[in-house]
Amino acid sequence: MATVKEAAVDARRIREDFPILSRQMAGKPLVYLDSAATSQKPRPVIDAVMDFYERSNANVHRGVYELGVVATELFEGAREKIAGFVGAADPRTFVFTRGSTESINLVAHAWGRRFLEEGDEILLTELEHHSNVVPWQLCARDTGAELRYVPITDEGLIELDSVATMITSRTRLVAITGQSNVLGTRPPIREIAEMAHEAGAVILVDGAQLVSHNPVDVTALDVDFLSVAGHKMLGPTASGGLYGRLELLETMDPFLGGGEMIQEVHPNESTYKEPPWKFEAGTMNIAQEVGLAAAVDYLAEIGMKNARDHERELTAYALERLSGAGAQIFGTMDPDLRGGAISFWFEDIHPHDLATILGDQGVAIRAGHHCAQILMRRLGVPATARASFHVYTIRDEIDALVDGLEVAREVFG
Amino acid sequence: MSLDDLYKEVILDHYKNPRNKRPLPEATVSKHKNNPLCGDDITIHARLLDGKVTELAFEGQGCSISQASASMLTEAVQGRTVEGAGDLAREFRAMMEGSVDPDEDAFGDLIALKGVAKYPVRIKCAVLGWDVLQDALDGTPGA
């Protein structure tokens, strides 16, 4: 056991940058294993937000005074940095949103409702989070398009053969997660993008988990849309955005109507700005995106390949420890094929009971359906317990989780 | 706040050996609810005759708190008038909100669930069965 090392990332050093990790929970040292729900924030991100409000706050794209220029430069500078982080060379291809959910809703509204028709097909998978299901259900209801789901294997994987079977000449969109928030599954996005394009379809990748744990390059992956959740990648809540291929963004409808997204407004009609500003109505989440730029700097310094290697090592260790303790793990046991979200059952203890008992030991895990009821039904369980990691997670914390399972066994014994 | 307050022996006993957990073909009303957060799921079958709850059973799945609470409920409510059952449901909710310290003798096993009030996220689990009971008491027969 324990043949892997935490070599890729010096997580113990990194932890010093996260003030919250020194607090206690239920009177015990906090063991935060719920980073798939939201990540913790390092000091440079907290400082960037505070600094913005203390020194640079003004509305953007409006004030002609110096402070307005400073705020606008920070905001647009953040766009360039975050776009670059996911491999988008042109910042015009990156629309700011409150996160992954809003990004997918933007595409469902501004692209889906504009271009989809009765008889068209939207291809999803059984892995999808509700944020990549419900917007398409609403879109399908309004357009007459039909939803189809690529099945997963018993190991929770997406096979290219299954995708090939499900893609038809009527498929207009493939919307798929880059990394499952429940099983950690990482579908082969580049290959699926190629298949989608061959069929004349557009591909959207739900990047909520993918971008926070892996190097991502939209150009190399050749995807048309990628949603980015800032709060899962060490950034503030309500930060993030949508990468979109420029030709698509140009032809799409606006999303929200309001100030700043227009060229000219007349009593019965308006003209709109160019992308990305066409999609950014009203006062935006300025401080949050500036904070996310600081998070991107922080992650870039660690290196996303190192972050992925660290997560892979922790995942391998956790899979070994958890299964050794008798936990039933959902999804593949191959750490090369998955990220660090591990769903499990322990004994017959309901995940909610398990999470309460672990919480009492200072260990924060998630219990529930993880906004993936379609997947829960496929797995045949009402809920799972889930442990998930980030760059600041250390093996001691996985040991604390396994120790906590023993306490649960005693309570329910 | 300690685990012993939550997972009392009597709760675990009702969870592992649920009372009146079965279908009830002679029920005059059956109602069902679930808690989407964690998948707790309770159906209450009640036989209501002449303003009395003459028989009560439940079916369902979920965490220990939801299932133990439903099991205790069937014992506590059986034989009460519809009005008396409604009163008990209200008192139980008040106990969960921490606004009432119930009479230990009158509450019987249910008093063991008092500790749940200290775990705000779990209160929903404890009251699920009682919400379903309320629906059954209010509802039209067979609905």
> What are the tens digits of pLDDT across the range B38-76?
778 999 999 999 999 999 999 999 999 999 999 999 999
Name all contacts of A323-331 with Cβ < 8 Å and 24+ positions apart: A324/A1, A324/A402, A325/A402, A325/A405, A325/A406, A327/A405, A330/A156, A330/A182, A330/A183, A330/A379, A330/A381, A330/A384, A331/A155, A331/A156, A331/A180, A331/A182, A331/A183, A331/A184, A331/A185
Q: Of A273, A301, A329, which residue constitutes the final position of a domain? A: A301
b vs e for B5-31, b when ≥16 Cβ sit within 10 Å of the residue's Cβ? ebbbeebbebbeebbbeeebeebbbbb
Domain region containing B120: 3-138
Q: Compute, in degrees rounded to 10, the torsion defined by CA atoms A207, A209, A211, A216.
A: -70
Considering the domain boundaries, does residue A97 fall inside one? Answer: yes
Under 8 Å between Cβ of A287 and A57: yes
Listed residue (A234, A219, A272) closest to A94, CA to CA: A219
Q: Compute, in degrees rounded to 10, the torsion defined by CA atoms A18, A20, A24, A30.
A: -60
* Cα gap A146→A80, rounded to integer Å: 36
Considering the domain boundaries, does residue B143 fall inside one? Answer: no
Under 8 Å between Cβ of A199 and A123: no
Could you tell me which chain A residue has the CA closest to the CA of B116? A356
Q: Where are the beta strands (DSSP E) in A266-395?
A: 270-272, 327-329, 341-346, 363-364, 366-368, 384-388
Q: Per-residue pLDDT tens for A144-174? A: 999 999 999 999 999 999 999 999 999 999 9
Report how many domains make up chain B.
Answer: 1
Considering the domain boundaries, does residue B23 fall inside one? Answer: yes
Read off the CATH number of the domain in which B51 is found.
3.90.1010.10
* Cα gap A209→B68, rounded to integer Å: 37
Neighbours of A5 (CB within 10 A): 9
Read off the CATH number of the domain in which A193 is found.
3.40.640.10
Confirm whether A139 is a catalytic residue.
no
Under 8 Å between Cβ of B11 and B64: yes
Considering the domain boundaries, does residue A3 fall inside one? Answer: no
Regarding whether A53 and A22 lie in a shared domain, the answer is no
Q: What is the DSSP letter of A172?
A: E
The pLDDT mean for chain A works out to 96
Considering the domain boundaries, does residue A334 fall inside one? Answer: yes
Under 8 Å between Cβ of B133 and B87: no
Nearest C-alpha of chain B: how many angstroms from A21? 22
Regarding whether A108 and A73 lie in a shared domain, the answer is yes
pLDDT of residue A1: 44
The active-site residue, picked from A60, A88, A294, A371, is A371
Percent helix / strand / coil, chain B, rounded to 5: 55, 20, 25
Element housing A262 (H / E): strand A262-265
Considering the domain boundaries, does residue A4 fall inside one? Answer: no
**Cα within 13 Å of Cα(B65), Cβ side:** 31
Q: Of A251, A282, A301, which residue constitutes the final position of a domain? A: A301
Q: Per-residue pLDDT tens for A247-278? A: 999 999 999 999 999 999 999 999 999 999 99
Q: Of A249, A276, A301, which residue constitutes the final position of a domain? A: A301
Q: Per-residue pLDDT tens for B33-46? A: 998 777 789 999 99
Provide, as residue numbers in chain A, all residues whose Cβ is less than 8 Å from the Cβ of B33: none
Considering the domain boundaries, does residue A310 fall inside one? Answer: yes
Regarding whether A381 and A278 lie in a shared domain, the answer is no
- SS3 call for A130: helix
B interface residues, A as partner, C-beta within 8 Å = 1-3, 6-7, 12, 36-41, 61-65, 119, 121-122, 125
Q: Per-residue pLDDT tens for A168-204? A: 999 999 999 999 999 999 999 999 999 999 999 999 9
Domain region containing A399: 11-41+303-412
Regarding whether A166 and A273 lie in a shared domain, the answer is yes
* Cα gap B79→A358, rounded to integer Å: 39
Select from B63, B69, B124 the residue whose CB has the most chain A CBs within 10 Å, as the one to mutate to test that interface.
B63
Look up the pTM and report it: 0.94
In what order do the strands lie in the sheet containing A384-388?
A: A327-329, A341-346, A384-388, A366-368
CA quadruple A85, A88, A92, A98: dihedral positive or negative?
negative
Q: Per-residue pLDDT tens for A33-60? A: 999 999 999 999 999 999 999 999 999 9
Select from A352, A373, A384, A411 the residue whose CB has the most chain B CBs within 10 Å, as the one to mutate to test that interface.
A352
Considering the domain boundaries, does residue B7 fall inside one? Answer: yes
Q: Do A412 and B64 touch (CB under 8 A)?
A: yes
Minimal Cβ distance to A353: which of B1, B2, B64: B64
Model ipTM value? 0.89
Q: Do A356 and B39 touch (CB under 8 A)?
A: no
Minimal Cβ distance to B6: which of A356, A367, A381: A356
Under 8 Å between Cβ of B123 and B11: no
Regarding whether A218 and A329 lie in a shared domain, the answer is no
Select from A134, A349, A350, A363 the residue whose CB has the most chain B CBs within 10 Å, as the one to mutate to test that interface.
A350
Q: Do A367 and B1 touch (CB under 8 A)?
A: no
Q: Do B122 and A367 touch (CB under 8 A)?
A: no
Minimal Cβ distance to A350: which of B3, B36, B62: B62
* Cα gap A165→B106, rounded to integer Å: 63
